[in-house]
């Protein structure tokens, strides 16, 4: 099972970073162009909450449904794909206070591609290089959007 990990620092307190990531709008705000996230049904972050959305890669829609678990209001959560483009996807977000004014965000993803021809598009869209680019954008967007309180 492939694993992708990255981390970055945000110049904002832990509570501000956690609040941003718990917003029902966070996914749309963290999706890099030219991908567009269409939020179909997003429940407030909580144990067992669901997120249903479509990622538009140009004219190509990729439908996704995920459930949240291991939700800690200040320290992160895990989202697990229930249905979507990959055979499996589990994404853990962790937030750690470095001091009163800065927070480390850690991302850990375990995923597998569907076998055969069904895995071709997911291998193109969610390969390690594409994930690196996507999460570099997410780091930039988080730093830009999270305001110190």
The predicted structure's pLDDT at residue 72 = 97
Cite the beta strand spans of 30-127 per DSSP E. Answer: 35-42, 50-57, 60-72, 76-83, 88-99, 102-112
Residue 97's SS3 state is: strand
Q: Mean per-residue pLDDT for 82-109?
A: 98
Q: pLDDT tens-digit profile of 32-49? A: 999 999 999 999 999 999
Radius of gyration of the chain (CA): 15
Q: pLDDT tens-digit profile of 8-33? A: 999 999 999 999 999 999 999 999 99
Q: 3-145 belongs to which homologous superfamily?
A: START domain (3.30.530.20)
Is 102:9 a contact under the CB 8 Å cutoff?
Answer: yes
The predicted structure's pLDDT at residue 8 = 98
Q: Mean per-residue pLDDT for 76-86?
A: 98
φ, ψ at 48 (rounded to 5°): 85, 0
Domain-wise residue ranges, the chain:
3-145
Q: Residue 22: name the closest of 69, 64, 74 by CA.
A: 74
Question: Which distant-in-sequence residues (6+ apart) come within 8 Å of 49 by Cβ?
Answer: 43, 67, 68, 71
């Amino acid at each position: 099972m492939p694993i992708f990990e990255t981390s970055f620092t945000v110049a904002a307190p832990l509570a501000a970073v956690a609040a941003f990531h718990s917003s029902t709008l966070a996914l749309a705000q963290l999706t890099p162009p030219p991908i567009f996230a269409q939020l179909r049904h997003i429940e407030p972050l909580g144990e067992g909450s669901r997120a249903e959305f479509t990622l538009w890669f140009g004219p190509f829609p990729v439908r996704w449904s995920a459930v949240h678990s291991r939700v800690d209001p200040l320290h992160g959560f895990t989202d697990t794909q229930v249905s979507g483009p990959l055979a499996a996807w589990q994404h853990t977000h962790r937030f750690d206070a470095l001091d009163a004014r800065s927070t480390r965000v850690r991302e850990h993803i375990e995923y597998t591609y569907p076998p055969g021809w069904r895995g071709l598009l997911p291998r193109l869209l969610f390969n390690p290089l594409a994930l690196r680019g996507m999460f570099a954008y997410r780091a930039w967007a988080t730093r830009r959007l999270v305001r110190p309180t």
